[in-house]
Protein backbone atom coordinates (compact mmCIF):
# COMPACT_ATOMS: atom_id res chain seq x y z
CA UNK A 1 0.00 0.00 0.00
CA UNK A 2 1.28 3.50 -0.80
CA UNK A 3 2.02 5.99 1.95
CA UNK A 4 -0.94 8.17 0.89
CA UNK A 5 -3.36 5.23 0.93
CA UNK A 6 -2.05 4.03 4.31
CA UNK A 7 -2.42 7.49 5.88
CA UNK A 8 -5.92 7.92 4.45
CA UNK A 9 -6.97 4.46 5.70
CA UNK A 10 -5.67 5.16 9.20
CA UNK A 11 -7.35 8.59 9.26
CA UNK A 12 -10.69 7.04 8.25
CA UNK A 13 -10.39 4.31 10.90
CA UNK A 14 -9.42 6.89 13.54
CA UNK A 15 -12.38 9.10 12.61
CA UNK A 16 -14.76 6.16 12.85
CA UNK A 17 -13.33 5.10 16.21
CA UNK A 18 -13.53 8.64 17.64
CA UNK A 19 -17.11 8.91 16.39
CA UNK A 20 -17.90 5.66 18.24
CA UNK A 21 -15.98 6.64 21.40
CA UNK A 22 -17.57 10.10 21.61
CA UNK A 23 -21.33 9.56 21.15
CA UNK A 24 -23.63 12.54 21.58
CA UNK A 25 -25.38 10.66 24.39
CA UNK A 26 -22.15 10.31 26.42
CA UNK A 27 -23.27 13.01 28.86
CA UNK A 28 -26.39 15.00 29.73
CA UNK A 29 -24.10 18.05 29.23
CA UNK A 30 -24.97 18.23 25.56
CA UNK A 31 -23.03 21.42 24.86
CA UNK A 32 -19.68 20.01 25.93
CA UNK A 33 -19.99 16.79 23.91
CA UNK A 34 -21.05 18.85 20.88
CA UNK A 35 -17.90 20.98 21.25
CA UNK A 36 -15.75 17.88 21.80
CA UNK A 37 -17.11 16.27 18.64
CA UNK A 38 -16.69 19.52 16.71
CA UNK A 39 -13.00 19.55 17.65
CA UNK A 40 -12.18 15.86 17.46
CA UNK A 41 -14.04 14.86 14.30
CA UNK A 42 -12.57 17.61 12.15
CA UNK A 43 -10.40 17.06 9.10
CA UNK A 44 -7.05 16.64 10.88
CA UNK A 45 -4.17 14.78 9.25
CA UNK A 46 -4.25 12.17 12.06
CA UNK A 47 -0.48 11.89 11.84
CA UNK A 48 0.01 10.95 15.49
CA UNK A 49 -2.43 8.01 15.34
CA UNK A 50 -0.74 6.98 12.10
CA UNK A 51 2.64 6.85 13.84
CA UNK A 52 1.17 4.73 16.64
CA UNK A 53 -0.31 2.30 14.09
CA UNK A 54 2.86 2.12 12.00
CA UNK A 55 5.21 1.70 14.95
CA UNK A 56 2.88 -0.96 16.41
CA UNK A 57 2.93 -2.80 13.07
CA UNK A 58 6.71 -3.30 13.49
CA UNK A 59 5.93 -5.45 16.53
CA UNK A 60 2.88 -7.27 15.09
CA UNK A 61 0.46 -5.57 17.48
CA UNK A 62 -3.24 -6.15 16.60
CA UNK A 63 -4.30 -3.04 14.68
CA UNK A 64 -7.39 -2.35 16.79
CA UNK A 65 -5.25 -1.92 19.92
CA UNK A 66 -2.96 0.55 18.18
CA UNK A 67 -5.96 2.45 16.81
CA UNK A 68 -7.33 2.89 20.35
CA UNK A 69 -4.03 4.33 21.60
CA UNK A 70 -3.91 6.51 18.47
CA UNK A 71 -7.43 7.77 19.16
CA UNK A 72 -6.48 8.57 22.77
CA UNK A 73 -3.39 10.45 21.59
CA UNK A 74 -5.48 12.32 19.02
CA UNK A 75 -7.83 13.40 21.87
CA UNK A 76 -4.83 14.90 23.68
CA UNK A 77 -3.67 16.57 20.47
CA UNK A 78 -7.15 18.03 19.77
CA UNK A 79 -7.34 19.33 23.34
CA UNK A 80 -3.94 20.99 22.89
CA UNK A 81 -5.19 22.69 19.72
CA UNK A 82 -8.39 23.98 21.37
CA UNK A 83 -6.41 25.53 24.22
CA UNK A 84 -3.59 26.73 21.91
CA UNK A 85 -6.18 28.72 19.93
CA UNK A 86 -7.77 30.44 22.96
CA UNK A 87 -7.53 34.24 23.21
CA UNK A 88 -5.17 33.90 26.19
CA UNK A 89 -2.81 31.80 24.09
CA UNK A 90 -2.42 32.20 20.30
CA UNK A 91 -5.84 33.85 19.85
CA UNK A 92 -6.80 32.16 16.59
CA UNK A 93 -10.17 32.13 14.84
CA UNK A 94 -9.55 29.39 12.25
CA UNK A 95 -8.56 25.74 12.76
CA UNK A 96 -8.79 22.89 10.27
CA UNK A 97 -10.66 25.23 7.94
CA UNK A 98 -13.41 25.98 10.47
CA UNK A 99 -13.96 28.53 13.25
CA UNK A 100 -11.98 27.58 16.37
CA UNK A 101 -13.97 26.00 19.21
CA UNK A 102 -14.17 29.20 21.29
CA UNK A 103 -15.52 31.00 18.20
CA UNK A 104 -18.07 28.34 17.28
CA UNK A 105 -19.12 27.92 20.93
CA UNK A 106 -17.61 30.19 23.61
CA UNK A 107 -14.45 30.34 25.71
CA UNK A 108 -15.76 28.49 28.75
CA UNK A 109 -17.08 25.67 26.56
CA UNK A 110 -13.73 25.52 24.71
CA UNK A 111 -11.80 25.20 27.97
CA UNK A 112 -14.14 22.46 29.19
CA UNK A 113 -14.07 20.61 25.85
CA UNK A 114 -10.26 20.59 26.06
CA UNK A 115 -10.37 19.30 29.63
CA UNK A 116 -12.88 16.62 28.57
CA UNK A 117 -10.70 15.41 25.69
CA UNK A 118 -7.58 15.27 27.86
CA UNK A 119 -9.19 13.22 30.60
CA UNK A 120 -11.07 10.99 28.18
CA UNK A 121 -7.78 9.96 26.57
CA UNK A 122 -6.81 8.16 29.77
CA UNK A 123 -10.23 6.51 30.02
CA UNK A 124 -9.77 5.12 26.51
CA UNK A 125 -6.37 3.61 27.29
CA UNK A 126 -7.48 2.29 30.70
CA UNK A 127 -10.18 0.16 29.03
CA UNK A 128 -9.34 -3.53 28.67
CA UNK A 129 -10.03 -3.33 24.94
CA UNK A 130 -6.75 -1.39 24.56
CA UNK A 131 -4.60 -4.26 25.86
CA UNK A 132 -5.37 -7.29 28.03
CA UNK A 133 -2.31 -6.73 30.25
CA UNK A 134 -2.99 -4.03 32.90
CA UNK A 135 0.77 -3.36 33.21
CA UNK A 136 0.94 -2.42 29.53
CA UNK A 137 -2.06 -0.10 29.95
CA UNK A 138 -0.47 1.49 33.01
CA UNK A 139 2.78 2.16 31.13
CA UNK A 140 0.83 3.66 28.22
CA UNK A 141 -1.11 5.88 30.63
CA UNK A 142 1.86 7.13 32.65
CA UNK A 143 3.95 7.80 29.53
CA UNK A 144 1.09 9.75 27.96
CA UNK A 145 0.61 11.75 31.16
CA UNK A 146 4.32 12.63 31.13
CA UNK A 147 4.34 13.50 27.41
CA UNK A 148 1.27 15.74 27.72
CA UNK A 149 2.17 17.36 31.02
CA UNK A 150 4.53 19.96 32.43
CA UNK A 151 7.69 18.13 31.40
CA UNK A 152 6.24 17.71 27.89
CA UNK A 153 3.59 19.52 25.84
CA UNK A 154 2.24 21.80 28.59
CA UNK A 155 5.76 22.79 29.64
CA UNK A 156 6.64 23.50 26.01
CA UNK A 157 3.57 25.70 25.59
CA UNK A 158 4.60 27.61 28.73
CA UNK A 159 8.10 28.20 27.34
CA UNK A 160 6.61 29.12 23.95
CA UNK A 161 4.52 31.86 25.57
CA UNK A 162 7.38 33.09 27.73
CA UNK A 163 9.64 33.29 24.69
CA UNK A 164 7.22 35.79 23.07
CA UNK A 165 8.53 38.45 25.43
CA UNK A 166 12.13 37.23 25.70
CA UNK A 167 14.72 39.54 24.18
CA UNK A 168 16.70 36.97 22.22
CA UNK A 169 15.96 33.29 21.85
CA UNK A 170 18.85 31.15 20.68
CA UNK A 171 18.80 27.85 18.82
CA UNK A 172 19.09 25.73 21.96
CA UNK A 173 16.06 27.51 23.52
CA UNK A 174 14.01 26.85 20.40
CA UNK A 175 15.03 23.20 20.19
CA UNK A 176 13.98 22.74 23.81
CA UNK A 177 10.63 24.52 23.33
CA UNK A 178 9.77 22.64 20.16
CA UNK A 179 10.97 19.31 21.51
CA UNK A 180 8.57 19.72 24.41
CA UNK A 181 5.52 21.37 22.87
CA UNK A 182 5.39 19.20 19.74
CA UNK A 183 8.12 16.58 20.08
CA UNK A 184 6.78 14.97 23.24
CA UNK A 185 3.55 13.77 21.59
CA UNK A 186 5.44 12.55 18.51
CA UNK A 187 7.81 10.62 20.74
CA UNK A 188 4.87 9.08 22.56
CA UNK A 189 3.27 8.08 19.24
CA UNK A 190 6.37 6.14 18.20
CA UNK A 191 7.03 4.60 21.62
CA UNK A 192 3.44 3.46 22.06
CA UNK A 193 3.80 0.85 19.31
CA UNK A 194 6.75 -0.73 21.09
CA UNK A 195 5.01 -0.62 24.47
CA UNK A 196 1.94 -2.33 22.98
CA UNK A 197 4.27 -4.96 21.51
CA UNK A 198 6.19 -5.47 24.79
CA UNK A 199 9.36 -4.32 22.99
CA UNK A 200 12.01 -1.78 23.95
CA UNK A 201 10.80 1.69 22.88
CA UNK A 202 14.29 3.26 23.05
CA UNK A 203 15.45 2.53 19.47
CA UNK A 204 12.50 4.44 17.99
CA UNK A 205 13.22 7.55 20.06
CA UNK A 206 15.87 8.97 17.74
CA UNK A 207 13.44 8.63 14.81
CA UNK A 208 10.63 10.25 16.79
CA UNK A 209 12.75 13.14 17.99
CA UNK A 210 14.00 13.89 14.48
CA UNK A 211 10.56 13.87 12.86
CA UNK A 212 8.98 15.78 15.77
CA UNK A 213 11.44 18.61 15.33
CA UNK A 214 11.16 18.50 11.53
CA UNK A 215 7.39 18.65 11.94
CA UNK A 216 7.42 21.83 14.01
CA UNK A 217 10.04 23.48 11.78
CA UNK A 218 7.74 22.77 8.82
CA UNK A 219 4.76 24.16 10.75
CA UNK A 220 6.74 27.36 11.26
CA UNK A 221 7.79 27.47 7.56
CA UNK A 222 4.16 27.00 6.47
CA UNK A 223 3.16 29.86 8.77
CA UNK A 224 5.36 32.09 6.60
CA UNK A 225 4.86 30.56 3.15
CA UNK A 226 1.30 29.23 3.04
CA UNK A 227 -2.16 30.83 3.07
CA UNK A 228 -5.12 30.37 5.44
CA UNK A 229 -7.08 28.82 2.54
CA UNK A 230 -4.44 26.16 1.93
CA UNK A 231 -3.52 25.57 5.57
CA UNK A 232 -6.94 25.81 7.25
CA UNK A 233 -5.49 28.07 9.96
CA UNK A 234 -4.12 31.59 10.17
CA UNK A 235 -0.70 32.32 8.65
CA UNK A 236 1.88 35.08 9.19
CA UNK A 237 1.17 34.88 12.91
CA UNK A 238 4.44 33.73 14.44
CA UNK A 239 6.28 36.94 13.62
CA UNK A 240 3.44 39.15 14.83
CA UNK A 241 3.25 37.19 18.09
CA UNK A 242 7.03 37.22 18.50
CA UNK A 243 7.22 33.40 18.56
CA UNK A 244 10.60 31.76 18.95
CA UNK A 245 10.96 29.61 15.82
CA UNK A 246 13.74 28.15 13.72
CA UNK A 247 12.59 30.38 10.87
CA UNK A 248 13.06 33.38 13.11
CA UNK A 249 16.60 32.40 14.14
CA UNK A 250 17.92 30.64 11.01
CA UNK A 251 15.92 32.28 8.26
CA UNK A 252 13.71 30.33 5.83
CA UNK A 253 16.44 28.78 3.69
CA UNK A 254 18.47 27.38 6.58
CA UNK A 255 15.33 26.23 8.40
CA UNK A 256 14.44 24.16 5.31
CA UNK A 257 17.94 22.68 5.21
CA UNK A 258 17.69 21.79 8.91
CA UNK A 259 14.32 20.09 8.37
CA UNK A 260 15.74 18.08 5.44
CA UNK A 261 18.75 17.02 7.52
CA UNK A 262 16.43 15.81 10.24
CA UNK A 263 14.51 13.69 7.72
CA UNK A 264 17.76 12.11 6.52
CA UNK A 265 18.68 11.37 10.11
CA UNK A 266 15.24 9.85 10.81
CA UNK A 267 15.63 7.54 7.79
CA UNK A 268 19.13 6.51 8.87
CA UNK A 269 18.11 5.50 12.37
CA UNK A 270 15.36 3.25 10.95
CA UNK A 271 17.94 1.04 9.23
CA UNK A 272 18.09 -1.63 11.97
CA UNK A 273 14.39 -2.31 11.34
CA UNK A 274 15.16 -3.45 7.79
CA UNK A 275 12.55 -3.57 5.07
CA UNK A 276 9.52 -3.05 7.25
CA UNK A 277 9.88 0.69 7.56
CA UNK A 278 9.07 1.97 4.07
CA UNK A 279 5.98 3.77 5.32
CA UNK A 280 7.79 5.28 8.29
CA UNK A 281 10.48 6.55 5.93
CA UNK A 282 7.80 8.05 3.68
CA UNK A 283 6.19 9.59 6.76
CA UNK A 284 9.43 11.41 7.55
CA UNK A 285 9.54 12.81 4.00
CA UNK A 286 5.86 13.76 4.10
CA UNK A 287 6.38 15.70 7.32
CA UNK A 288 8.59 18.25 5.53
CA UNK A 289 7.01 18.16 2.05
CA UNK A 290 3.39 18.53 3.19
CA UNK A 291 1.38 21.56 2.15
CA UNK A 292 -0.86 21.57 5.24
Which H or E run includes 94?
strand 94-95
By CB under 6 A, name the one of 54, 84, 209, 282 that touches ligand IPE.
84
111-114-120 Cα angle (round to 5):
140
E strand or H helix at 76: helix 63-85
CA dihedral of residues 224, 229, 232, 238 (deg, nearest 10): 20
Q: Are strands 98-99 and 94-95 parallel, antiparallel or unpaired?
A: antiparallel
Q: Out of 15, 54, 191, 219, point to the residue binding ligand IPE (CB under 6 A).
A: 219
The item of ligand IPE, Mg ion, none sharing an interface with residue 193, based on CB under 5 to 8 Å by kind, is none
Does 96 participate in binding ligand IPE (rule CB under 6 A)? yes
User: Is residue 154 involved in binding Mg ion (CB under 5 A)?
Assistant: no
CB 53 within 8 A of CB 71: no
Q: Check residue 182 for interaction with Mg ion (CB under 5 A).
A: no
Smallest separation, CB 161 to Mg ion (Å): 8
Q: Does residue 53 sit in helix, strand or coil?
A: helix
Contact between 178 and ligand IPE per CB under 6 A: no
Q: Is 84 in the site for Mg ion (CB under 5 A)?
A: yes
SS3 state of residue 191:
helix
Distinct helix (H) and strand (E) counts, the chain: 16, 2
CA dist list (Å): 111 to 33, 37, 52, 201, 244: 12, 14, 27, 33, 25
205 binds ligand IPE (CB under 6 A): no
Closer residue to ligand IPE (CB): 44 or 197: 44
- Is 45 a residue that touches ligand IPE (CB under 6 A)? yes
Asked whether position 90 contacts Mg ion by CB under 5 A, the answer is yes
What part of residues 190-219 is at the interface with Mg ion (CB under 5 A)? 219
- Segment lying near ligand IPE (by CB under 6 A), choices 39-47, 107-115, 125-133, 278-286: 39-47
Among 14, 130, 182, 277, which residue sits at the site for ligand IPE (rule: CB under 6 A)? 182
Nearest approach, Cβ of residue 271 and ligand IPE (Å): 26
Q: Which does 54 bind (CB under 5 to 8 A by kind): Mg ion, ligand IPE, none?
A: none
Using CA atoms, how far apart are residues 56 and 267, in angstroms rounded to an integer?
18
In terms of DSSP H, where are the helices of 107-231?
A: 107-126, 134-148, 153-163, 171-178, 184-196, 205-225, 228-231
> Which residues would be at the binding site for ligand IPE (CB under 6 A)?
44-45, 47, 80-81, 84, 90, 96, 153, 157, 181-182, 216, 219, 233
Amino acid sequence: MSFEAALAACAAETDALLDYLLPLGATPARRVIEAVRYAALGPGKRLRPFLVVESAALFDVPRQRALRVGAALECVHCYSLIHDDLPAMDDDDLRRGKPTVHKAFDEATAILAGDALLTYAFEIIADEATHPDPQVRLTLISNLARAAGMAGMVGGQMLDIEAETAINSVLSDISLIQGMKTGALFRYACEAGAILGAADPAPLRAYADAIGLAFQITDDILDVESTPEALGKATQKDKVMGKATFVDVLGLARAKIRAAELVDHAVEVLEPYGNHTTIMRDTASFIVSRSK
